[in-house]
Amino acid sequence: MTRFQSVAINGNRIFYREAGPKTAPTILLLHGFPTSSHMFRDLIPALANSYHLVAPDMLGFGFSDAPDREQFRYTFESLAKVIGSFTETIGLERYAIYVFDYGAPVGFRLALAHPERVIAIISQNGNAYEEGLSEGWNPIQQYWKEPTEQNRAALRDFLTPEATKVQYLYGVQDATLVAPEAYQLDSALLARSGNDDIQLDLFLDYANNVALYPKFQEYFRAKQPPLLAVWGKNDPFFLPHGAEAYKRDIPSAEVHFYETGHFALETHAQEIAAAIRDFLGRQVKVQTYAA
């Protein structure tokens, strides 16, 4: 059974989903834009008899607090620090990280800060290489180069319900497999007062993630963490080249592609769960627990 909980971190409430025995190896599940821990709703029960799953909502996302921009600076460094404090508060000492989209720069910052805590990495359309960025990033990259109000306003189209739905359906072979409540929930949460500017701040700050790619890659080369890439190969934002690039720095990295889009768990949760079981079963000692 998945438990729905929250904990206070520096005065802000972090909502999280938790399942599986706490004595089992932990997987920290880190969501991306514009979603939340809700994206892991099918993966969590598929793994919970062997693993301890923890999926927090980052500040400004899902059911966690979204403090005013004057009270909290929305950068990926800030988000990572909150998630780092979250892991310490709930007592996570060592864990694998499952990183998706925004979850990648957050998770990789955790690994840079405390490499001894990260026992393995599962990257699902979570990028760390410039060749993984598609032309879909061009408007955002233009905003990085010229952070004008005009370029900021141009990015508001990414925050519409139509754009969110497209993110879920683009590249999917069978759209009837994608639950409509997924993109409708994301759209409803994006529509909260002030959330548009939170997301635009993060669009601007994403440039700092790209600037850190060399450090992420240096960490991969130096520490050689066990890494599995499970990738929706029709992702309009993060290209398959970004998945293959992991093998350049971690020769033992394993890469699996699926005939789907950005939100691969919507259509391939069971296949990805099987790949994770196989991968982690060879990397960490796992006991199967009664459901």
Model confidence pLDDT, tens digit, residues 132-160: 999 999 999 999 999 999 999 999 999 99
Side chain identity at 116, as an amino acid letter?
E
Q: How far apart are CA 87 and CA 107, in angstroms?
A: 11
Residue 45 domain flag: yes
Question: Which residues are catalytic, by number?
Answer: 262
Residue 160 domain flag: no
Q: How far apart are CA 188 and CA 264, in angstroms?
A: 21
pLDDT digit string (tens) for 85-104? Answer: 999 999 999 999 999 999 99
Query: Domain range spanning residue 68?
Result: 3-134+208-283
pLDDT digit string (tens) for 41-84? Answer: 999 999 999 999 999 999 999 999 999 999 999 999 999 999 99
pTM: 0.96
Compute the Cα dihedral for 108, 131, 198, 142 and give only its sign: positive
Note the pLDDT of residue 283: 85
To which residue do tokens 């409509």 refer?
A: 180
Inter-CA distances, 54 with 110, 181, 244, Å: 15, 22, 27
Report the DSSP beta bridge partners of residue 5: 16
Write the CATH number for 227.
3.40.50.1820
Q: How far apart are CA 15 and CA 59, in angstroms?
A: 9
Q: How far apart are CA 282 and CA 27, in angstroms?
A: 15
Given a contact cutoff of 8 angstroms between Cβ atoms, the answer to whether 9 and 86 are in contact is yes
Residue 183 domain flag: no
Q: How far apart are CA 256 and CA 214, in angstroms?
A: 24
Q: How far apart are CA 35 and CA 12, in angstroms?
A: 19
Residue 247 domain flag: yes
Residue 170 domain flag: no
Q: How far apart are CA 104 and CA 121, in angstroms?
A: 10
Q: Is the pLDDT reported for residue 288 higher than 80?
A: no
Residue 176 domain flag: no
Q: How far apart are CA 168 and CA 43, in angstroms?
A: 17
Q: What is the DSSP letter of 89?
A: H
Residue 186 domain flag: no
Given a contact cutoff of 8 angstroms between Cβ atoms, the answer to whether 15 and 62 are in contact is yes
Residue 145 domain flag: no
What is the count of structural domains for the chain? Answer: 1
What phi and psi values does residue 133 have, to the nearest 5 degrees?
Answer: -90, 125
